[in-house]
Structure 1
């Protein structure tokens, strides 16, 4: 699903960018065991390109392949990331245009909870990760999506949502393990974790 006007404003502002560059980068660096130095990283749902900046500048990736369902967001990311080691495209996390076992790490900055068939998104992420590859994720649990603010102001799918334990179980179904140690942040508004493909 594409973001509505409220979500676009909430996700595309300097405070959100600063949070990603500092707090979220620290969380993911720790979960990645110190960073992603020299890796080829796929970012699902790139938005206006802040996540790709974090992956390159804070996590040390060699290059980033990134896509978003929203063409206007990809255009914004292209402007922001001009000259950087980033390949951008319009794409769908449920049908990732990458070969199987082709990337070292996948990063999800809170995209999968927007996807109606989120299980298919997890399956696609597992498909493109090489054996031993890493998924780093930040996600919003069902109980937050069920609050008045999320129901009223956002356009998230209402059915087939997940909590952290259900998300970890779905990852394990696709041989992505290690998410049992996820962390809750921002008063439980998000959970973050890492899972490695066996």
Structure 2
């Protein structure tokens, strides 16, 4: 689902960008065992391109392929990332336009909870990853989406959302096995983790 105006404002501001570049980058660098040096990485839901910057500049990836459902966000990312080793497209997490086993890693900066058929999105992420490939994810659990603020101010699918353990179980069902305990951050508003494709 596309973001509403409140969510766009929350996601597309300097505070969110700084959080991604510093705190989230540090989480993912640690979970990845130091980073993604030399890797070809897929970012699911690129927004205005800050995540791709983090993947290149903070995690050391050699190349990023990224997509978003919102063509306006993809255009903003194109402007932001001009001249960088990034390929951008409009796309759907449930039908990723990449060949099977073509990506060294996939990064999810809190996108999958927006996807109505989130198990299909996980299946697609698993499909495009090479054996041994790494998934880094940050997600919002169901109990947070069920709060008054999220129900009133944001637009998310209401049915079939997940808690961290349910998300991990779905990853495992698609051959993506956790490399450690899921971590809760920001007062339980998000959980993060890493999983490798068997």
TM-score norm. by structure 1 comes to 0.99
Q: How does 1:63-102 map to 2 (within 5 A)?
A: 63-102=63-102
Separation (CA, whole Å) in 1 of partners of 2:79 and 2:46: 13
Partner of 1:122: 122
Partner of 1:49: 49
1:182: how far off?
1.1
Separation (CA, whole Å) in 2 of partners of 1:51 and 1:107: 9
Separation (CA, whole Å) in 2 of partners of 1:131 and 1:179: 14
Separation (CA, whole Å) in 2 of partners of 1:37 and 1:74: 25
Partner of 1:177: 177
Would you say 1:34 and 2:40 are equivalent positions?
no
Q: More displaced, 171-180 or 114-123?
A: 171-180
CA contact (8 A) 1:114 1:157 kept: yes
CA contact (8 A) 1:183 1:191 kept: yes
Structure 1 residue ranges without an equivalent (≥5): none
Partner of 2:19: 19
Partner of 2:133: 133
Q: More displaced, 113-122 or 179-188?
A: 179-188
Q: SS of 2:162's equivalent?
A: coil
1:61-119 Cα deviation digits (max 9, x unpaired): 00100000000000000000000000000000000000000000000000000000000
Aligned residues: 198
Structure 2 residue ranges without an equivalent (≥5): none
Separation (CA, whole Å) in 1 of partners of 2:76 and 2:196: 31
Q: SS of 2:160's equivalent?
A: coil
**Misfit runs of 4+, over 6 Å:** none
TM-score norm. by structure 2 comes to 0.99
Q: SS of 1:181's equivalent?
A: coil
